[in-house]
Structure 1
Amino acid sequence: MSNALRVAKGAFGRVALLDMDRPLVRHAHPHCHVLLKVEGADTQFSVRDRIVPLRDDSAVLINAWEPHAYAHHPGQPATIILALYIEPKWLQAFRPNWRGSGAPDFFTDSVGGTTHHIVRLTHELAEAMVQEPGNAAAHELLLAELMIAVIERFTPWQDIVPSLRLRAAASGVDPRIRRAVDLIRSAPGEVTDMDSLARDAGLSRAHFFRLFETTLNVSPRVYLNVVRLEQAVHSVVDGKEPFLRIADRLGFSTPAHFSRFFHDHAGSSPTAFRAVSGLTSRDFETPR
């Protein structure tokens, strides 16, 4: 069963060391996402409508909000994967234009050949996370070196001029779609179905779906699930809120539905995810 071996979270975003032996559903993330093989079988991901390999000599590169899935085949051996979810503001400290990592075209291809330097840093970071799970400073230093190597290898970073493009795109969002986005982000648990969301936006279902996906490059359902997942990850890693309360706040009818959603999107049960984040795990019982 797939599970997280270690999770690190900070200003950089998060890094998860995942032991994967089952597929993940089609989903997305609000930050650039890099997948690197640590050990085990060669495997593959579906990025948009393309199957791309993850091997010792390749990295899977996923732009912010780009739909993807882990395309694990039944009976295929497990693979340990280092999954990076990196915040644009953190990257901006290295190069101002690296804030463009939040743009939909930061990576020009969804797969690329790694170097010996990238492979070495991948293994060093994974080893540090396992051997020194509490050494956050060391993890961030290794992650910084790894991300610099990845960006310099796989992006035309010297040509990226993101600020005006991103601001123009943000200012051009249809106010009806912006209203729907604000509702999703502020109270994802209150969004019960897409028809109601379309009505609240003042649009027919078909027009709403078409305009939403044209604007944000993902469907309303995928966007809702991204927001639910990111809020769930934050709450699970934070370690203070019981899972039952997280599930209820995010709109899941039962804790079991929340656990399944989390596993299908994050590659781990919330219990394991919290435990390997160095925090105290809690069960699903109602708090006293």
Structure 2
Amino acid sequence: MTVSADGLPEAAAPGDPAPPPGLVVVGHFDQPPGYGISRPRGADSWLFTWTTGGQGRLRHGSTEARAGAGDLVVLAPGVAHGYGVAQGAPHWAFWWVHCQARPSWRSWLRPYDAGEGMYVVAPTPDAVHGRIEAAFRRMLDDARWTGTEAPPVTAPGEESVAVAHGTAARELALCSLEEVVLLTAGAAPTRPPRPGVDARVRRAQALIAADPAAPHTVRSLAEHVALSPSRFAHLFTQQLGQSPMRVLREARLRHAARLLESTDLSVERVAAASGFASPFHFNRVFRDRYGRPPGAYRGSGPMVGA
């Protein structure tokens, strides 16, 4: 994703200062050719950009990237950076946010580290673009909330720059940005798919992993990927070495183990929340998988390698 950025536009305002740390500043720009910002000393805050049209070019230290529609590019603080309309592009339309990133975001962004604190999350599937756009619009509205009446609603085409001064407004805006980070980092591919695995099998795997407690069956999974149940079961087992229901059971057991580790839900509730209709059956298969019943697993923690 990193590219040469020869010809990156000069700064519209050399040394243009970034917003001070502690604030959340959000806006939407649609800039013509020639627009650019240069910050030789970097910024004290994080910069998040999500392109909605045209193309932009961003430089962070010696790392450079080109951003098209649906690409999230994040710049960490403290590194010289610059950005502007890509050479030859008719414009660059993008949402941008200056803020202090929540610590949990770093682990979500880490697989997309392009170097020197630049994170390039791309491509983002078209299916989530609408929700990401809505999150940015909500962020803009929430940043202007006074804490008394309902947050204002900004109509499309009336976007401006908003600064979240109040604590509640800042937290609401950051919650919307967290949704953006999750939607982009969770949907963009971090590595090429396993060679030779049929795309329909991968989609079924993703359905199971996303919601193992759902009432999946061979028939329902087959319908999602437009195959007959018999053809789907044969293809899935042939390519992964395990039947769909075996993979589903393993996913449910892993889900149950995480719930036992991180919540105080009763074993019966954990069983139900993990897709097991019978607590007795859940206890038996859990002990077979982890070597001890659910209650004992919770009391002693997970085994190494489990």
What TM-score results when the alignment is normalised by the length of structure 1?
A: 0.35
What TM-score results when the alignment is normalised by the length of structure 2?
A: 0.33
Q: Which has the larger radius of gyration?
A: 2
Larger helix fraction of residues: 1
